[in-house]
């Protein structure tokens, strides 16, 4: 026993450390209950204690406390257990650093410290564990670099360090790990290139490198790994072509490269990877065509190449991938017809081809795939009739065909043999009646059949379908009564507008407590508005206009406290406006009671609607004073015409954007001021009609192009006020504050107009942009383009339009004044040192502008290209938060590009491909943004006097780069104000990364530039642990 006393004593020290000190703060009783003092018996030994195993010599060979709820720190005494072969402390709450003395346990074969709270660096001394085959450190808070010594352990087979905060490069010594089978480094912050030496890990089977910051190309040496089964390198910043797929890849099963910035296309050589099960490269910047060689992969179950730039047709050979279960190619530029050979994919579960350019009919063979559960082909150019064969698909759950050209009747048996969950056929040319069995399986949640040519009644079975959440039938020719809804119905969004439904609104609607939006306008509904609708406390939008409803307004509607818009215009309602309407204090976007037979006075409680911006009570029989409307401080537009109001118009009401004298006409006893003359000038009337038609046409086109009806709530768009509506109070204040737009108040000049500063007192300061019309028609179109664009977007980094006025000779746009001016003022103003931006502020500007552009490019429908990004159009608030402004050049994209009659933009910021052409896409904005990044780094103008002749900032930086690498170059080109900050290595690295990003954005080839989403990802990653969000409001 004496010869083992040293080991026992060391173990005792370890146990004592665990049980009696505060270093390990918690050891459950089930662990300590078996621990006995070593001196309690001459034969006492810890070999029978919980979690402890000894060898034949009574030396401790194993400590296994996995999932034992132990917390605290691991002491350095652990290194005294020299005979230890297995140490498993996984899934506990150990904290603190991993003791370097652990490297003394040289007999360790298995080391698992995973799923704890260890911090600090991985000790390089672990490289002394020459017998370790399995090393697990994943799911901790480890930092620092990965020690090279780990890859010098000769027998190491498994290394998992995923889910930590490790940084630095992957060591070149990785090539020395000749026995390595599994390497998992994902969810860290590794940077640099993937070492070429990894090709020497000849036994490697699993390689997980995804979700890091790796750059460079995918090493071709990966082709040497003939045992590789799983390769994950997604969510990095890899570039260059994907050169993979040698004869050695026959064991590869999973190939995942998503969210990188590759060049070129899908490598045809992947056809050699005969065991491949999943090919996943989402948003990898891939271009070119899909290689036909993929058809050689008989074991392939998943192809996901979505969100790339792939073009051409879908190869017939894909039909040879007979094991395929998912084919996901959405959001590309693929065209031509869908090949009939897909019908050979008898195991296919999901076919997702949406947002491409496919044309023709869906082959009948596809409709016969027995396993098909999802068919998502919306937003293509597909046509044809829906065949009877689709009704035989027993597994079919989700069919989305919207925004295509399908015609004919929907097969009446659809749903009989399957449990449909989502049907979206909006914006096609479908005729006939609604099939009665769509909800046969009682799982249907979405039924969208709007904007077609359907007729007939809503089948009773559909009305009784309790699972439907979104129900859109708008813009058809449907008739008959509305369906009854039960109390436990799931319906939340209902849009039946523009049909010929008749009869009363069912009282049972009030039992559907999840309803948030109801639009029954433009039908033939009659009877009274059921008071039960007052039970819909989640209702935000209620539109019952243009029907035949009668009776009084139910006071119970005041219980709909979340209502934001209420429209019952043009019905046959009578009685008084209930005073309880004042309870609807969330009303913002409109209260429309026009075109009825309402009587009595405006209730005093109406003044409580302090957020209301639009009210229309015209064409009724209302009497009394308008004084209550004078209390509505948020009001932007009101129409009280054709009633029997008397007395004076309230002062606030006269000019507070209530500028059309027609809004007061038809009230014989109303005192209309002389300042509101009603002109009989025919030219003015024609002008008004022209503007009105133009506005309606543009709005109609925009709505149609958005694609049918996926908006839950009404848009918070800005509102047009024409000159014919008279000067508003706010406009009068603006004109007074600027001395009728005197040039002394000018603070800037944009591409389409002049900007004035208007201080209205009480801290209210605005910027007013005056758009001067070159010619009446062209100017209105230009202005409306800008207005319609700005009015639709809501984002923290986009300038918010407060309102605008359309006048005869010009248009006025109102914004909140930005006290710090533009980014140009801050960087290049008269006294730029006074506004000197430290690097963190510049970085935030870069990130904010990137978020704003990404929102315009990808979150607006249709997407928006700004077309004139430059510092002058980036406005700075008091917190130096950037706001993109001046959408005077913005055009709504009709496809991937747009065209105008003239070249637009600003010299120095125009992408090379646009210098003499009119075609503009998102890539042109990316180029301009890259120029702005270079200005943030250098504080030099895009075209600076210090540059050689005919040189802009992009050429100058690239010239400097040619003389040295980016890291060395930064100190040469960086703004001298930032020189002291370069001493901080983290800041220096960040500046280097931003410079590299700027050079990537300003590549001459548009295809090589990143998308703005990718730019945001790069900046967020470079920002470290700071949380990034888009900031959009939707």
Just list the catalytic residues. Answer: 868
- Using CA atoms of 686, 687, 688, 692 in order, give the dihedral in degrees to the nearest 10: 100
b/e per residue 921-954 (b: at least 16 CB within 10 A): bbbbbbbbbbbbbbbbbbbbbbbbeebeeeebbb
Separation of alpha carbons 116 and 164, rounded Å: 11
Sorted by sequence, the CB contacts under 8 Å of residue 188 that are 6+ apart come out as 161, 162, 163, 164, 165, 166, 167, 211, 212
d(CA 946, CA 809): 42
Q: How far is CA 307 from the centre of its chain?
A: 14
Cα–Cα distance between 993 and 848 in angstroms, integer?
17
| Exposed e or buried b per residue across 874-902, where buried means at least 16 C-beta atoms within 10 angstroms of its C-beta | bbbeeebbbbbbbbbbbbbbeeeebeeee
Give which of 340, 421, 425, 342 is closest to 378, Cα–Cα: 425
Asked if 109 and 133 count as a contact pair (C-beta separation under 8 A), the reply is yes
Contact 542, 566 (CB under 8 A): yes
Q: Which residues contact 989 (CB under 8 A, 6 or more apart)?
A: none
- DSSP letter at 83 equals T
Longest dimension (CA), the chain: 118
Give the H/E segment covering residue 943: none
- Report yes or no: 261 and 281 within 8 Å, Cβ to Cβ: no
Q: How far is CA 439 from the centre of its chain?
A: 32
Judged by DSSP in three states, 515 sits in coil
Nearest CA to 674 out of 654, 644, 646 is that of: 654
Evaluated on CA atoms 641, 646, 651, 652, the torsion sign reads negative
Query: What is the Cα–Cα distance from 527 to 571, expressed in whole angstroms?
Result: 10
| CB 420 within 8 Å of CB 396 | yes
Query: Rounded distance, CA 276 to CA 294, Å?
Result: 10
769 is in an annotated binding site: yes
CA distances for 791 relative to 334, 700, 715, 759, 805, angstroms = 33, 15, 9, 23, 13
φ and ψ at 532, to 5 degrees?
-60, -20
Please give the Cα distance from 77 to 62 (Å, whole number): 15
Cα distance from N-terminal residue to C-terminal residue, the chain: 75
What 3-state DSSP class applies to 978?
Answer: helix
CB within 8 A of 270, min separation 6: which ones? Answer: 244, 245, 249, 255, 276, 279, 291, 293, 294, 297
Helix (H, G, I), strand (E, B) or coil at 742: coil
Distances (CA, A) of 333 to 316, 358, 749, 829: 17, 9, 39, 44
DSSP E strands, 658-745: 670-671, 720-722
C-alpha closest to that of 449 among 433, 437, 464: 433
Tell me how far apart the alpha carbons of residues 364 and 384 are, in angstroms, rounded to a whole number: 11
Helix, strand or coil, per DSSP, at residue 295: helix
Q: Provide the annotated binding site for ATP.
A: 769
Q: Provide the annotated binding site.
A: 769
């Amino acid at each position: 026993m004496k010869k083992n006393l040293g080991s026992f004593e060391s173990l005792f020290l370890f146990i004592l450390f665990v049980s009696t000190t505060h270093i390990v703060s918690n050891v459950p009783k089930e662990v300590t209950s078996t621990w006995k003092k070593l001196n309690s018996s001459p034969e006492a030994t810890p070999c029978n204690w919980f979690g402890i195993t000894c060898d034949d010599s009574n030396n401790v060979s194993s400590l296994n406390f996995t999932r034992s709820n132990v917390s605290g720190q691991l002491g350095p005494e652990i290194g005294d257990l020299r005979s230890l072969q297995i140490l498993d402390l996984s899934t506990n709450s150990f904290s603190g650093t991993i003791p370097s003395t652990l490297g003394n346990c040289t007999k360790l074969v298995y080391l698992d410290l995973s799923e704890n709270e260890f911090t600090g660096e991985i000790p390089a001394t672990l490289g002394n564990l020459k017998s370790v085959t399995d090393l697990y450190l994943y799911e901790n808070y480890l930092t620092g670099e990965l020690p090279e010594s780990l890859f010098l352990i000769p027998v190491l087979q498994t290394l998992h360090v995923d889910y930590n905060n490790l940084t630095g490069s992957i060591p070149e010594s990785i090539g020395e790990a000749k026995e390595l089978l599994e390497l998992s480094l994902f969810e860290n912050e590794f940077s640099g290139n993937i070492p070429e030496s990894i090709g020497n890990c000849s036994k490697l089977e699993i390689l997980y490198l995804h979700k890091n910051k790796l750059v460079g190309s995918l090493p071709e040496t990966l082709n040497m790994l003939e045992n590789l089964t799983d390769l994950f390198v997604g969510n990095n910043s890899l570039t260059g072509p994907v050169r993979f797929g040698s004869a050695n890849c026959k064991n590869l099963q999973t190939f995942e490269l998503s969210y990188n910035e590759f060049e070129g296309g899908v490598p045809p050589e992947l056809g050699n990877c005969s065991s491949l099960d999943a090919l996943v490269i989402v948003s990898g910047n891939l271009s070119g065509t899909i290689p036909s060689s993929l058809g050689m992969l008989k074991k392939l179950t998943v192809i996901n190449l979505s969100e790339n730039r792939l073009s051409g047709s879908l190869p017939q050979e894909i039909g040879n991938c007979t094991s395929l279960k998912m084919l996901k190619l959405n959001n590309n530029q693929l065209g031509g017809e869908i090949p009939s050979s897909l019908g050979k994919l008898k195991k296919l579960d999901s076919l997702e081809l949406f947002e491409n350019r496919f044309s023709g009919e869906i082959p009948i063979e596809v409709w016969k795939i027995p396993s098909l559960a999802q068919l998502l082909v919306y937003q293509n150019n597909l046509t044809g009739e829906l065949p009877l064969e689709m009704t035989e698909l027993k597994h079919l759950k989700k069919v989305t065909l919207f925004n295509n050209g399908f015609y004919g009747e929907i097969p009446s048996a659809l749903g009989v043999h399957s449990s449909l969950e989502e049907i979206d056929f909006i914006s096609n040319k479908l005729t006939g009646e609604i099939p009665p069995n769509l909800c046969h399986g009682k799982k249907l949640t979405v039924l969208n059949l709007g904007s077609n040519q359907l007729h007939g009644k809503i089948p009773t079975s559909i009305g009784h379908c309790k699972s439907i959440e979104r129900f859109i039938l708008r813009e058809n020719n449907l008739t008959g009564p509305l369906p009854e809804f039960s109390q436990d119905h799931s319906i939340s969004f209902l849009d039946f507008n523009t049909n010929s439904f008749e009869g009363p609104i069912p009282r049972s609607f009030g039992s559907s407590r999840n309803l948030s939006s109801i639009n029954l306008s433009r039908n033939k509904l009659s009877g009274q508005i059921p008071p039960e609708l007052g039970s819909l406390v989640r209702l935000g939008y209620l539109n019952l206009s243009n029907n035949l409803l009668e009776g009084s307004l139910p006071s119970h509607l005041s219980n709909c406290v979340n209502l934001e818009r209420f429209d019952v215009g043009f019905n046959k309602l009578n009685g008084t406006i209930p005073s309880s309407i004042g309870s609807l204090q969330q009303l913002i976007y409109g209260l429309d009671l026009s075109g009825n037979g309402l009587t009595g006075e405006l209730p005093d409680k109406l003044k409580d609607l302090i957020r209301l911006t639009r009210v229309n009570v015209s064409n009724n029989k209302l009497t009394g004073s308008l004084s209550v409307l004078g209390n509505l401080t948020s009001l932007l537009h009101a129409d009280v015409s054709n009633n029997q109001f008397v007395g004076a118009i309230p002062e606030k009401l006269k000019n507070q954007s209530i500028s059309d004298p027609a809004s007061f006409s038809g009230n014989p006893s109303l005192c209309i001021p002389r300042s509101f003359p009603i002109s009989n000038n025919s030219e003015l009337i024609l002008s008004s009609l022209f503007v009105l038609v133009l506005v309606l046409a543009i709005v109609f086109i925009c709505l149609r192009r958005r694609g049918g009806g996926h908006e839950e709530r009404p848009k918070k768009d800005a509102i047009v006020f024409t000159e014919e509506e008279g000067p508003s109070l706010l406009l009068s204040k603006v004109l007074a504050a600027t001395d009728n737009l005197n040039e002394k108040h000018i603070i800037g000049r944009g591409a389409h107009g002049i900007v004035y500063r208007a201080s209205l007192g009480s801290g209210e300061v605005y910027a007013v942009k005056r758009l001067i019309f070159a010619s009446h028609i062209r100017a209105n179109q230009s202005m409306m383009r800008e207005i319609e664009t700005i009015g639709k977007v809501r984002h923290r980094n986009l300038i918010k339009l407060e309102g605008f006025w359309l006048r005869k000779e010009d248009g006025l746009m109102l914004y909140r004044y930005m006290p710090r001016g533009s980014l140009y003022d801050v960087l290049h103003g008269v006294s730029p040192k006074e506004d000197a931006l430290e690097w963190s502020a510049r970085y935030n500007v870069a990130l904010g502008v990137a978020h704003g552009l990404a929102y315009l490019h990808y979150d607006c429908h249709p997407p928006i290209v700004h077309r004139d990004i430059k510092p002058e159009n980036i406005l700075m608030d008091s917190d130096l938060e950037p706001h993109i402004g001046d959408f005077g050049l913005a055009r709504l994209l009709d496809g991937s590009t747009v065209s105008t009659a003239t070249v637009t933009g600003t010299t120095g910021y125009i992408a090379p491909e646009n210098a003499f052409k009119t075609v503009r896409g998102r890539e042109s904005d990316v180029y301009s943004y890259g120029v702005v990044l270079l200005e943030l780094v250098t504080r030099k103008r895009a075209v600076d006097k210090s540059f050689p002749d005919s040189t802009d900032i992009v050429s100058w930086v690239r010239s400097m780069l040619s003389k040295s690498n980016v890291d060395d170059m930064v100190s040469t080109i960086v703004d001298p104000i930032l020189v002291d900050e370069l001493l901080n290595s983290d800041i220096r690295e960040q500046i280097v990364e931003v410079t590299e990003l700027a050079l990537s954005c300003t590549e001459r080839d548009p295809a090589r530039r990143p998308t703005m989403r990718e730019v945001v990802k790069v900046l967020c990653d470079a920002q470290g642990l700071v949380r990034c969000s888009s900031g959009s409001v939707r």
